[in-house]
């Protein structure tokens, strides 16, 4: 397993460009945002949203769809490891295709170690130089000048709590939780899917931000964060952002964690 310490960058790197070592908060599969590299089933797995994969809300053909970073630029270095099929849920008069989280995991079996001394970092996301309030509807910086490390996890946040995200479209945005455990309805590739128990926050999510890590900062160290979830979309004007909480992510990937040596 390749690991490493958070980087101290001397100059900015675009969230939409080739970024080595690979970390969260930068452009990834399907033009979405990479969430983070975590640990699942004892191995490093890159996380992103299911709806940015070749087959939304279900396994790709033979699970061999390659992952590049940035998207569409070779060489490829990962293949889909898990993207669960939907299940039927809801009252019998209105049943639908459901998922517990909008989440997919990729392995690292094709990574070209010659590209970087550290091809990827566990539990690290990009840190732009500043953040903006999501309600301002103004994009934040799309340049990373440092990184943040996952130091703790939290299964969910409650209404009124401050949460943050780093995405490749709107950068680093900060907002508050406005709704918890509500059903989010999506339509991708001709399919309608319900992502159950989704949360909403004013974190300014636009196309391309899907997959952005959702987190809180530790008061004791601004470079350390508490992992909270994965950005999945936006429900329309005013609501700003939908995300699947870590609790929902672990419903699909039990034991998912983000620090070196975790099980």
Question: Quick one: average pLDDT of 139-158?
Answer: 93
* Cα distance between the two ends of the chain: 13
Residues 6+ apart with CB under 8 A from 200: 177, 178, 179, 180, 182, 235, 239, 240, 241, 242, 243
Q: Is the confidence at residue 4, as pLDDT, over 50?
A: no
What band does 1 get if pLDDT is binned at 50, 70 and 90?
A: very low
Condensed to tens digits (0 to 9), the pLDDT of residues 51-70 reads 988 888 998 865 566 777 77
131 against 74, higher pLDDT: 131
Provide the residue ranges of all domains of the chain, joining segments of one domain with +: 13-252
CA distances from 244 to 109, 210, 260 (A): 27, 11, 23
What's the CA angle centered on 234, arms 224 and 205, to 5 degrees? 40
Mean pLDDT of the chain: 86
What band does 27 get if pLDDT is binned at 50, 70 and 90?
A: very high
Question: Quick one: average pLDDT of 191-203?
Answer: 93
Question: Quick one: average pLDDT of 150-179?
Answer: 94
Q: Is the confidence at residue 181, as pLDDT, over 90?
A: yes
The DSSP call for residue 240 is: -
Condensed to tens digits (0 to 9), the pLDDT of residues 206-252 reads 889 999 999 999 875 678 999 999 999 876 655 579 999 999 999 99
Question: Quick one: average pLDDT of 71-100?
Answer: 84
From the number of C-beta atoms within 10 Å of its C-beta (0-12, 13-18, 19+), residue 218 rates as: middle
Instruction: Quote the pLDDT of residue 117.
Output: 61
Instruction: Quote the pLDDT of residue 243.
Output: 96
Among 169-178, 192-201, 212-221, which is the least confidently predicted range? 212-221
Strand partners, 105: 47, 82
Q: Is the confidence at residue 135, as pLDDT, over 60?
A: yes
- 13-252 adopts what CATH topology? Thrombin, subunit H (2.40.10)
Question: Quick one: average pLDDT of 141-157?
Answer: 94
Question: Quick one: average pLDDT of 127-131?
Answer: 92
Question: Quick one: average pLDDT of 109-115?
Answer: 58
């Amino acid at each position: 397993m390749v690991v490493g310490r958070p980087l101290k960058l001397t100059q900015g790197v675009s969230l939409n460009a080739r970024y080595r070592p690979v970390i969260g908060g930068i452009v990834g599969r399907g033009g979405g945002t990479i969430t983070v590299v975590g640990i699942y089933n004892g191995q490093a797995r890159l996380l992103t949203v299911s709806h940015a994969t070749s087959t939304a809300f279900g396994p790709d053909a033979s699970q061999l769809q390659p992952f590049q970073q940035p998207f569409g630029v070779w060489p490829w270095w990962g293949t889909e490891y898990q993207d669960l099929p939907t299940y039927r849920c809801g009252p019998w008069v209105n049943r639908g295709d459901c998922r517990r989280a909008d989440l997919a995991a990729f392995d690292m079996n094709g990574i070209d170690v010659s590209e970087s001394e550290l091809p990827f970092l566990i539990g690290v996301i990009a840190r732009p130089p500043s953040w903006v309030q999501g309600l301002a509807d103004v994009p934040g910086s799309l340049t990373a000048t440092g990184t943040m490390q996952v130091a703790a996890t939290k299964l969910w946040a409650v209404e009124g709590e401050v949460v943050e995200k780093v995405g490749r479209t709107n950068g680093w945005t900060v907002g508050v939780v406005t709704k918890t455990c509500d059903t989010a309805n999506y339509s991708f590739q001709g399919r309608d899917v319900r992502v159950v128990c989704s949360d909403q926050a004013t974190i300014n999510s636009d196309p391309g931000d899907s997959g952005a890590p959702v987190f809180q900062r530790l008061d004791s160290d601004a470079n350390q964060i508490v992992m909270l979830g994965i950005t999945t979309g936006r429900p329309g004007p005013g609501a700003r952002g939908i995300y699947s909480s870590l609790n929902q992510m672990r419903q699909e990937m039990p034991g998912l964690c983000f620090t070196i040596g975790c099980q």
